[in-house]
Amino acid sequence: MTISTSDDVLLSVVRRRAPAVPVVLAFVLGIVVDANVATVGWWGWAFSATALLFAGLMWWLCDSRLLTCSLLLVVVGVGAVRHHDIWFVGEPNDIRLFAQEEPRPARVIGTIAERPQLIRELDEGSSRPWASRERSVLVIECRKLRDGDQWLDVTGGVRVDVSGLASKLRIGDEVELLGRLSLPDRPRNVGEFDFAEFLRKQGIHAVLRCRSLDAVQFLKRPDDLVTQMQQQRIAAREHCEQLLRDKLSPDTSSVALALLLGSRGRMTSHQREAFVESGTMHVLAISGLNVAILAMFVGGVCRLFNLPRGMIVISILAFVGGYAAITEAGPPVVRAALLIFLSTLGWPWDRPTHANNLLAVTALGVLWWNPTDAFNTGTQLSFLAVAVILWLAARRSLHLEAMQIEAAKDALIATVKTEAELLAVKTEAELLKELNEKLPMSKSAWQQSRLAVAFTLRETTLVSFFVWLFTSVVIARQFHLVSLVGLLANIPMIPVATVTLCLGYSMLLVGFVSPAVAGWFAVPFEWSLRLMLWIVDVAAELSCGHRYVPTPPMWWLFGAIVFLTTLFWWIRGPLLRHLGWRAFWLWTALGLALSLWPREPGPLRVSVLSVGHGLSVLIESPSGRTLLYDAGMMGNARRATDIVQQTLWHRGHSRLDGLVLSHADADHINGAAGFIRTLPIGRIFVSPQFLDWTQPEVRQVLDSAKHCRVPVRLTWQDDLLPLGDGVRCRVLHPSANEMLSPDNANSIVLLIEYAGRRFLLTGDLERDGLLRLLNSPPQQCDVLLSPHHGSLGANTTDLARWARPNWLIVSADRRANLNTLRSRFGAETKVLSTAEHGAITFEIHADGRMTCETFRGAGSQTAREER
């Protein structure tokens, strides 16, 4: 008799009895169809009813296979109905019906639905030094909206941004607010984060901005049982936050708040970037890992006190539920808590549970509550990682069981050497003694410890590798980052994070009883946090450890997921598995080769990005060389950096060949320091007048360039910047040795010529600088970038006669002055604004044909015009 441990047996066992898996897949299919196919509201009901009738017929005909397929089609229809009800169906008096894209004054009465977020900006170098560094974010459920002399009944969630710290407000408070109401911002550039869709998935349909705390009037605080429970929950969280701030150093307390409670507001941008680039950001996410470690910790403590199994289950569920409440019950925590709840249901009665079934039922519950989570990258990564971990755990358990059986069988056979020995009568104690001597477990304590450590390292490495392999393709698509070092960093990080979390949970738990005694746990907790930060910093500093990449093609991403899923769950036999892995690595190499393959010459593309009150222009030559003219926006340097990076990555570029910074104003350069770290840059071009070391933004740019070894070159009038492919890029202003006032007058002016077409980029040129340009020979151009964001003082009639453009492009955050500009430049000039049209892209073909494309057209996402 032999015991098989082949892949066929293991896969058949791993896949057994998981009826919930096809059900949740059918539910997801219904969600996807409803989200991507234009349908009416009743089609899901009609589809489900038809499938249900067909299922009844198949039941009557006793055809089990068609009956199963019919019931799954019913689930498809139910998924579509649920998504349609959540996403498309709204109340007739929803607040979004009264909001527009342009902010309007509004007075609203509502109830605070979530704990107010108090935000303090810690990073220096703000582009708006006059603005408040402290603000509050509220989420309210609207009840009334002021309309003239009367109040209208309204519903729906509103996000409220208030200048100042609203520290006295609590969840459940009824407040009256005065501010400017608008719809959430939609994307204005390719690849930009869709903030409106993000809020809509949370049930928030409008945004209200209040200038000060005086615009928020407290009305009343309910005294019902639910409100009191909410207040107790918030008080417990605030106690935990204060305990961590008091007992830990500032550097580690900010990480501890994120690690234990999910509060990242006190982390510096450097700390966040280090966790992202080291591939360990998942540690800070309050997710399944935290909840699983908490459940393991509570279960271990209960076993130390020899509690019965039922009490262990109750303790685990109680602590997990309390932790979910303190951490605001975010979606990742709810997912993990639901999975633990389902997995522990059968423990008191020794009823086995199947991992795939548990995960599928959990996913079904999460998607029923919020169907839009099917498109949430965090949800996808969470379930994907858990699925891989459970699959590996199931295979490991089966292998260990098979090895134990084989070892026991061999040991028993080895004890029977002769027929005489077989006939000899031995006691049970003698047989057990011989068996224990033959089994591999009969080793010294040191040998067992060494084998246990080696086994743990091996399993941790396997888990880290396979989770990284599955999730990296999704992360590369969504976050444009491949962190190879994360594969190694997570090997020590997982046990360190486990110990750190256990110490943190102990400190918080003891802190509720005695804050003084909690200080004893703070010392080892501090040490473990510093060890964790050291691992993160070392991994992030490795220049070859991570790389930012362009957006992978959707076809390659889909193929990679299909290959991996097939390899793990469906392919049987060593030969097919070997060929499958060969095919996967070949597919990966194909994706890399295509990304490096020289592109066919295309048109010259000039894109004026929509960065609010700021400027950023991307020039792409026919062969793919890139030049960026300015990179900044007023008040939000991080967003300017993101817009530039996302545009480049979605256009398939992984580097900049050149960066031109027109002058030393924050709204033109404050985003540059951010992407100098993440994008390889050939060289930076600045004028001699740019080198004003008294301005912090200038220092940040030059320091970043020095740290990343990016050469900085001075340029001035009559210089030619390299673009190749017949593209001529000439500097018209400023001269080398003349310093004009203010800074705007020193803006670098570029004239780009290709195939008989001309672009004139003017920065913030005005006053003396504008007069110097107008005294030079006229430059009739096809496209003129309006100087100084459409300012009437810079866009004079003299400039209109000097340039005579076909298009005038205004980069600004408002639509004012457009009518005046149209009258000044005449009917022959078409005036476009990034505030109205989003990013504006011109393409010039080799034959001189030119097209204009706007990211946001009237009534459509893209509008095109050709001349």
Give the pair of three-digit tokens for residue 218: 């407290």
Total residue count of the chain as it appears in this document: 867
Q: Is residue 16 within 8 Å of residue 418, measured between CB atoms? A: no
Sign of the dihedral defined by the CA atoms of residues 412, 413, 415, 421, in that order: positive
3-state helix, strand, coil in the chain (%, to 5): 55, 15, 30
Model pLDDT, residue 15: 47
Running DSSP on this structure, what letter comes out for residue 657? S
Question: What CA–CA distance (Å, rounded) separates 264 from 244?
Answer: 13
CA 565 to chain CA centroid, nearest Å = 23
3-class DSSP state of 484: coil
Q: Is residue 708 within 8 Å of residue 675, measured between CB atoms? A: no
Peptide bond into 742 cis (omega under 30): yes
SS3 for 247-311 is HCCHHHHHHHHHHHHCCCCCCCHHHHHHHHHCCCHHHCCCCHHHHHHHHHHHHHHHHHCCCCHHH
For residue 278, what are the CA distances in angstroms to 332, 385, 499, 540, 542? Answer: 22, 18, 20, 5, 9
Model pLDDT, residue 433: 57
* Spatial CB neighbours of 675, under 8 Å, sequence gap ≥ 6: 631, 641, 644, 645
pLDDT under 50 in the chain at which residues?
A: 1-15, 124-127, 129-130, 418-420, 422-423, 428, 440-442, 858-864
Question: What CA–CA distance (Å, rounded) separates 14 from 851?
Answer: 57
pTM of the model: 0.82
Model pLDDT, residue 447: 67
For residue 367, what are the CA distances in angstroms to 121, 157, 274, 434? Answer: 35, 21, 32, 55
Model pLDDT, residue 862: 42
Reported as a single tens digit per residue, the pLDDT across 476-489 is: 777 888 888 888 88
Model pLDDT, residue 599: 64
CA 704 to chain CA centroid, nearest Å = 25
Where does residue 717 rank: exposed (0-12), middle (13-18), buried (19+ CB within 10 A)? middle
Q: Is residue 807 within 8 Å of residue 784, measured between CB atoms? A: yes
Rounded to 5 degrees, φ, ψ at 640 are -60, -45
Other CB atoms within 10 Å distance of the CB of residue 314: 15
3-class DSSP state of 130: coil
Give the pair of three-digit tokens for residue 830: 């078409």
Q: Is residue 201 within 8 Å of residue 184, measured between CB atoms? A: no
Closest alpha carbon to 614 in 648, 642, 653, 577? 642
Other CB atoms within 10 Å distance of the CB of residue 578: 11
Q: Is residue 626 within 8 Å of residue 653, measured between CB atoms? A: yes
Question: What CA–CA distance (Å, rounded) separates 867 from 157?
Answer: 45
